[in-house]
A and B are shown apart, each in its own frame.
Chain A
Amino acid sequence: MLIGALLMLALATPVAKAVEPDEVLQDKALEARARHISEGLRCLVCQNQSIDDSAAPLAKDLRVLVRERLKAGDTDQQIEDFVVARYGEFVLLKPRFEPHTFLLWFATPAVFVIALLIVIFAYRRRAALESATTALDDAEESRLKHLLEDR
């Protein structure tokens, strides 16, 4: 929790949270795909829950719909398109990469790059400043050497 759902993206095994016994498909591979798709679809009448998490009747309808399309032989992409065509892009928990979401997708890398540039720039400026003010000239160097040798 504290560091978020770390690695969840790479690690998640499909787990049904609201799926009911009668919905589960016999075909395990198909059921796994159904779960995967369900986790990315928003329950439209809920607040920030996927249809996989939600016990709402509408979420159930959508889960059944997804499974019906899977049985009919649709690909994951076809099902996503079908649901989006019906309910709009609001239904997707991970927005598509389109002009109106460019900012969303690019913001984080942009912040990282800008912050990195600031760090590098600040460091180089400081280093230059420091060497300009603290570097010893030849006379000082020889005097320092002299002092050190004296000890």
Chain B
Amino acid sequence: MIAETGHYALILALAVAIVQTILPIWGARVRDPQLMAVAVPAAQLQFLLIAISFAALMTAYVTSDFSLENVWANSHSAKPLIYKIAGVWGNHEGSMVLWVLILALFGAAVATFGTNLPRELQANVLGVQGSIAAAFLLFIVTTSNPFTRLDPAPLDGQGLNPVLQDPALAFHPPFLYTGYVGFSMAFSFAVAALIDGRIDAAWARWVRPWTLAAWMCLTLGIAMGSWWAYYELGWGGFWFWDPVENASFMPWLAGTALLHSALVMEKRDALKVWTILLAIITFSLSLMGTFLVRSGVLTSVHAFAVDPARGIFILALMGIFIGGALTLFAVRAPMLAQGGLFAPISREGSLVLNNLLLTTACAAVFVGTLYPLALESLTGEKISVGAPFFNFAFVPLIVPLLVAVPFGPMLAWKRGDLVAAWQRLTAAAALALIAVVAVLAWQQRGPWLAPFGIGLGIWLIVGSLSEIAFRVKLIDGAPGEAWRRLGNLPRSAYGTALAHAGLGIVVIGIVATTAWRSESILALKPKDTTEIAGYQLTFEGIAPREGPNYQERVGIFKVTRGGRDVTTLEPSKRAFSVERSSTTEAGIHASWRGDLYAVLGDPLKDGSYSVRLYFNPLVRLIWLGAVVMFIGGALSLSDRRLRVGAPKRAKALGQSLAAAE
């Protein structure tokens, strides 16, 4: 009964979404306030219905209701509760329901909090948002219904793919989807502006917080995926240029560009046409990401759902939305008025450079990901495009961008002074140079380019923080002055500095771990001792162990360093009996120097075990940097919200003061 309620709610949501699409947009066209007013309750109702549906599916998973085909195929009664919950989105149907739930959540948020939006804009935005929801709900209801019953109900389920039974991956999809779907807001606003034929700085002020929130979630989602791959796939790699990774990376690149161009639009009323186009591109890439992952057109370790019929459906949806939006863009964009002018050397100019390089980098990833598919479908020739190609195409674009990053915030709007900016960055340049020389002197092995990579990271971190130092007059101001200014600085300034510094942290992590990782592959018998990166490891032997829904074979490694006990590493091989497959769990010891990483291999003929040991220097900085970027985004976002509400509050304060007098 609960499942039927969920199914029914989903169908009702589809009906509501269709109404939400047609009436408000029509209303905005004929300027009928009553028709436009339908948008708000429709968006809220649609969210409520999808939430009911999602809750019903969740209930079925938590109570292990195997009369549902979807639960039977992806869950098992012996599974820990957290993975029963995560199982809801660990499969195609459930993840699509999560997708529309987040979409509806964003729509409901605009309906509820967007009361100070111009009425036509709000109606159009919610209408476009409704049309996306309608399309995806139709997709779920017709091809991917999660509420299909089985009769008779099986006794137990088939379980969830063991590599997905992992805490990081349990919460990876919700963040990733919030990122993907969050960009739908930018898309809906862009299309609404095109329908309306009007756009101004206020538009950008509305779009930016949504884009920022989506970007933050996507950043964290990608970082989680990378973190998961690092310890789960068994050799400590953190990025594989896998098509599915690329599918999430492309919207991230485009979304990062969008954040920056929307800034120009908000502050200077320039780059309007480009920002609109970028908003369309970013969400199109998100749709494409969904398509690539969900259709199974890519052969990839991540593609769990392989069903061409669904693929064609999503492809058609993509065609309609992307094609429609671009056509509308072509017709309406020339009508949009151009904004403020700026010199090439200016904050705007630097942001144009940012967009130029990010967009090209995104294009490189796009071509590399889709070219083999296109070539095969056109000529039948099969080629592979892997990591060597992507590094070759991507790195030369992104390094100049990173070098340029600290300059951006140092340049004034409209017309900047490059020499003055450079002078302000002297400290950063000096520290970066010192880092390069020091690392060159210290480095015994590893490529000669590595020290420059570390220097680039230091340059980014110090350069970003220099901006704050100068704005508060840390060096040349009176004592106490800096402190006062520190408090007065808008949070978005801290947000920018932190996000850029986070990028520097990521760079250092990537460079250090790629250049100076050590490895040792050996066959060890119990009581054998070995050494890596200053650690002494003793293989104590193998112990069998019982997990909640698996058996594992654990290798016990005593780790000492300079005679002192450090830790015991316990890498293992887990065998999942229900799913009839196994996973490799690395044993990891984290320290500030880096990670000691042990992987247990198979038993060899002579009673020894194949063991792989790695030391990954500074590898945690990669994810730490991503978290810093997230925090930077959050700070900036909190500033935005204050500012959007600020005029009202100031007015209220004025009135209360007047009343007091």
A interface with B by C-beta (< 8 Å):
1-13, 15-22, 24, 39-40, 42, 46-50, 53, 55, 88-95, 100-101, 103-104, 107-108, 111-112, 115-116, 119, 123, 126-127, 129-130
Give bound CA distance, A40 to B623, whole Å: 27
Q: Given known contacts A1-B506, A6-B507, is B395 in contact with A92 (CB within 8 Å)? A: no
Interface assignment of B6: CB less than 8 Å from any CB of chain A: no
Interface assignment of B384: CB less than 8 Å from any CB of chain A: yes
Give bound CA distance, A24 to B383, whole Å: 29
Residues of the B chain whose Cβ atoms lie less than 8 Å from the Cβ of A22: 523, 604
**11 additional A-B residue pairs with CB within 8 Å, beyond A3-B510, A5-B390, A108-B360:** A1-B239, A1-B506, A1-B622, A2-B252, A6-B402, A15-B235, A48-B242, A53-B237, A89-B382, A95-B384, A103-B371
Q: Is the CB of B398 within 8 A of A6?
A: yes
Interface string of B361-389 (1 = CB under 8 A from A): 00111011001000100010111111111
Give bound CA distance, A111 to B359, whole Å: 9
Name, among A18, A21, A47, A48, the residue most crowded by chain B CB atoms within 10 Å (CB to CB): A48
10 contacts between A and B (CB under 8 A): A1-B223, A2-B629, A4-B391, A6-B510, A9-B392, A11-B446, A13-B447, A53-B237, A111-B363, A112-B356
Q: Please choose the segment from B483-491, B512-520, B645-653 that sits at the chain A interface, where 4 or more of its residues have CB less than 8 A away.
A: B512-520
Residues of the A chain whose Cβ atoms lie less than 8 Å from the Cβ of B242: 48
Give bound CA distance, A107 to B371, whole Å: 10
Q: Is the CB of A11 within 8 A of B453?
A: yes
Q: Is the CB of B390 within 8 A of A100?
A: no
Residues of the B chain whose Cβ atoms lie less than 8 Å from the Cβ of A9: 388, 391-392, 395
Interface assignment of B568: CB less than 8 Å from any CB of chain A: no
Give bound CA distance, A140 to B173, whole Å: 63
Interface assignment of B226: CB less than 8 Å from any CB of chain A: yes
Which of the residues B301, B515, B521, B625 comes within 8 Å of A24, measured between beta carbons?
Answer: B521
Nearest CB of A to B300, in Å: 5
Residues of the A chain whose Cβ atoms lie less than 8 Å from the Cβ of B234: 17, 55
Give bound CA distance, A89 to B381, whole Å: 9
Interface assignment of B397: CB less than 8 Å from any CB of chain A: yes
Which residues, 210 to 250 on B, are CB-close (under 8 Å) to A? 219, 222-223, 226, 234-243, 249
Which of the residues A92, A103, A112 comes within 8 Å of B360, measured between beta carbons?
Answer: A112
Which of the residues A2, A50, A90, A116 comes within 8 Å of B626, measured between beta carbons?
Answer: A2
Residues of the B chain whose Cβ atoms lie less than 8 Å from the Cβ of A95: 383-385, 389
Q: Is the CB of B610 within 8 A of A20?
A: yes
Q: Is the CB of A4 within 8 A of B386?
A: no
Interface assignment of B338: CB less than 8 Å from any CB of chain A: yes
Q: Is the CB of A93 within 8 A of B514?
A: no
Give bound CA distance, A94 to B511, whole Å: 22
Chain B residue with Cβ nearest A40: B388
Residues of the A chain whose Cβ atoms lie less than 8 Å from the Cβ of B453: 6-7, 11
Interface assignment of B335: CB less than 8 Å from any CB of chain A: no
Q: Is the CB of A8 within 8 A of B387?
A: yes
Q: Given known contacts A49-B301, A115-B356, is B385 in contact with A93 (CB within 8 Å)? A: yes
Q: Is the CB of A20 within 8 A of B383?
A: no
Q: Is the CB of B384 within 8 A of A92?
A: yes
Which of the residues A17, A20, A119, A130 comes within 8 Å of B356, measured between beta carbons?
Answer: A119
Which of the residues B235, B338, B394, B517 comes within 8 Å of A53, measured between beta carbons?
Answer: B235
Q: Given known contacts A7-B510, A8-B395, A48-B300, is B626 in contact with A1 (CB within 8 Å)? A: yes
List the 4 closest pairs (A to B, CB-CB), nearest first: A93-B386, A17-B235, A94-B388, A9-B391
Residues of the B chain whose Cβ atoms lie less than 8 Å from the Cβ of A39: 387-388
Give bound CA distance, A129 to B340, whole Å: 12
Chain B residue with Cβ nearest A21: B523
Residues of the B chain whose Cβ atoms lie less than 8 Å from the Cβ of A11: 446-447, 449-450, 453, 511, 514-515
Nearest CB of B to A20, in Å: 5
Nearest CB of A to B611, in Å: 8
Q: Is the CB of B395 within 8 A of A7?
A: yes
Q: Is the CB of A6 within 8 A of B387?
A: no
